[in-house]
Structure 1
Amino acid sequence: MYNEPIYLEPAFKERLWGGTKLEEIFHYKIPSDYTGEAWCISGHKNGPNTIKNGPLEGKTLREAWDGHRELFAGEEGEEFPLLVKILDSKKDLSVQVHPDDTYAREVEGENYGKTECWYVLDCEEGSEIIFGHHASNKQEFEAMVANGEWGDLLRTIEVKPGDFFYVPSGTIHAIGAGIQILETQQSSDITYRVYDYDRVGQDGNKRELHLDKSIEVTTVPHVDPEIERTQFYQEDLRKERLVEEKYFSVYRWDLEGECKGLTPEPYVLLSVIDGTGEVIVEGRSYPFKKGDHLIIPATVKTFDLKGNASLIVSNSNK
């Protein structure tokens, strides 16, 4: 039986809008000064993580999902359902939207659409995101897109560290410059660009837009999703529920001491955003530090936590 946490090696993505904060904040060895994303818990074909320890060391999370489904309580599905990443936006990301499961399967031939959520780790003062739009119906939305009325169409929100946003498929959105977020999402890499500030890529050409598909999948009118952040204590562990919806539940855990008898429910994803500590399974200690990402598999019946640390924690609700 696999009776220990599964530690994962991040996979990095260079982006036009990326920077160096992933190295400065988490001490990752990044590939360039344009590193925009660390895929931290991923079984997706475009960036599966390598397992760093235990019987499956050197294998990918994708391989673990395919060959050892007991680690995930026998959960069904063609691929690991969630993807956790950290983004560093030195510059504005493109304005974009993602499809739901049905559209992704019928049009793109992919398993999942993309519903996601963001926890703001840090940001420059005055940083903003785009979240939603002001069009009242589809016809108005199409006309404003066609006429490039971006200032009137797009809705901006100023953010601060600790803010949380739930971003269902169909939501127009963009992360602004100067923000670092931890994103929990469905395991999907489908993005439709609506607007890209007329930027050019490394080839000197403007990046592709996907206006027809964007118009088809965008929710009109925009409605802010209702979420209620609630918290409770279990010994020295403060748990704050950020969102619970049909694809995933996401929490922030703040540990100041020790908490015993935790359960994976049925398996749990842990991303350490600050501090240090240890996972204890049947008396054996597994240390963790800021920037580590691990899975407590379903084959671990209970575990303890000890230390002083903050974590973003998620589980699949499939």
Structure 2
Amino acid sequence: MYNEPIFLNPAFQERIWGGKKLKTEYNYDIPYEHTGEAWVISAHPNGPSIITNGPLAGKTLKDAWEQKGELFNKAADNNEVYPLLIKILDAANDLSVQVHPDDTYAREVEKQPYGKTECWYVLSADAGAEIIFGHHAQTREELEQMVDEGKWDELLRRVPVKAGDFVYVPSGTIHAIGKGIVILETQQSSDITYRVYDYDRTDAQGNTRELHLDAAIEVTTVPHQTPNYDQLEEVTGGLKAKRLVTEKYFTVYHWDLDGATEKEKDADFLQVSVVEGKAKIIVDGKAFAIEKGDHFVIPATVDTYQFNGQAEFLVSYPSK
């Protein structure tokens, strides 16, 4: 019986638009001057998280998924890859305008198991910060023409955001995170991105980054559809839980803890990110100190647990 949370160290990714907030705001030992992403709960081969405690210390989350399926209530004949990926992104500059394919396109064209539906919880945002979310083209022909002619101001939908905002981004949605925004992203475990526009930026060698216009136009939803999703709140002891979204691939909650609460796990396993404050999680009488920047999985082998402290969490689990 594995009767404790599975704590994880992030894998970091260098990005042309990245900065230093993953160090200054989350105290991570970042390896790059432009560190754009921390893959904080990841079993993806491009950046798996490392387990830091218990019998699996030193192994990756991918190892645990493949070798200890009982921790995730995974059937022995389940050969699918770990379904979700959690990141924190520091956009010191604008991200490229991009779009992701759905599962069918990813499997048929890219030979990858998942497309990419994602969602964002805004952790911090500079005054006036904006995201790009969707487009104004009414037909695919109009989309292609506006892209060819570089009519970006006419084409792209810009939306202001602030800390605490939540955005659900289904596959097929043109999008970009704007300068001055830090987000926690919950997504399918996929690294497929089709870049539409990159502001004609160049890297340190003077090279522009590759665009993927044919694939992007093919997978983009036209006309743009703003998704609807029901949100609800419930309070249990010292914990206020707000469900941000529940849909085909994942369910995501924001938990606000002020005091103590006891919980029963209501999914096969939970992914938990501490985004503010300090607290303790208690399992079978053993307390584990947790604070902003910590990330862990509550495995299927843990049925009940307690929290005590003042903290905020983003909590997610895959849909069945």
TM-score range, shorter-chain basis? over 0.9
3-state SS of 1:254 partner: strand
Q: What runs of 5+ residues in structure 1 fail to find an aligned partner?
A: none
Deviation at 1:282, TM superposition (A): 1.1
1:86 correspondence with 2:88 = yes
Deviation at 1:102, TM superposition (A): 0.6
Cα distance in structure 1, aligned partners of 2:224 and 2:260: 43
Letter in 2 for 1:289: E
Equivalence for 2:250: 248
1:237–1:254: 8 Å Cα contact kept in structure 2? yes
Letter in 2 for 1:124: D
Find the partner of 1:257 among 239, 259, 268.
Answer: 259
1:34 correspondence with 2:43 = no
Cα distance in structure 1, aligned partners of 2:146 and 2:293: 41
Equivalence for 1:154: 156
Cα distance in structure 2, aligned partners of 1:191 and 1:203: 22
Equivalence for 1:179: 181
% identical equivalent positions: 59
Q: Write the deviation string for residues 249-286 of structure 1: whole angstroms up to 9, x where unpaired.
A: 00000011111132151100000000111111111111
1:295 correspondence with 2:293 = no
Deviation at 1:78, TM superposition (A): 2.3
Letter in 2 for 1:136: Q
Cα distance in structure 2, aligned partners of 1:28 and 1:83: 19
Equivalence for 1:17: 17
Equivalence for 1:205: 207
1:101 correspondence with 2:115 = no
Deviation at 1:229, TM superposition (A): 2.4
3-state SS of 2:158 partner: strand
Deviation at 1:77, TM superposition (A): 4.4
Equivalence for 2:55: 55
Equivalence for 1:114: 116
Deviation at 1:84, TM superposition (A): 0.3
Equivalence for 2:275: 273
Cα distance in structure 1, aligned partners of 2:222 and 2:266: 38
Letter in 1 for 2:12: F
Q: Write the deviation string for residues 3-39 of structure 1: whole angstroms up to 9, x where unpaired.
A: 1100000111110000001111111111122010000
1:45 correspondence with 2:45 = yes
C-alpha RMSD of matched pairs (Å): 0.9
Letter in 1 for 2:219: V
Aligned residues: 318
Cα distance in structure 1, aligned partners of 2:312 and 2:111: 38
Cα distance in structure 1, aligned partners of 2:248 and 2:41: 19
Q: Write the deviation string for residues 147-166 of structure 1: whole angstroms up to 9, x where unpaired.
A: 11101000000111000000
> After TM superposition, which residue ranges in structure 1, 4 or more long, deviate above 2 angstroms?
75-78
Cα distance in structure 1, aligned partners of 2:314 and 2:262: 18
Letter in 1 for 2:126: E
1:217 correspondence with 2:219 = yes
3-state SS of 1:12 partner: strand
Deviation at 1:88, TM superposition (A): 0.3
What is the TM-score with the length of structure 2 in the denominator?
A: 0.98
Deviation at 1:243, TM superposition (A): 0.3
1:264–1:298: 8 Å Cα contact kept in structure 2? no
Q: Write the deviation string for residues 107-148 of structure 1: whole angstroms up to 9, x where unpaired.
A: 111110000000000010000000000001111111101111
Q: Write the deviation string for residues 148-199 of structure 1: whole angstroms up to 9, x where unpaired.
A: 1101000000111000000000000000100000000000000000000011
Equivalence for 2:307: 305
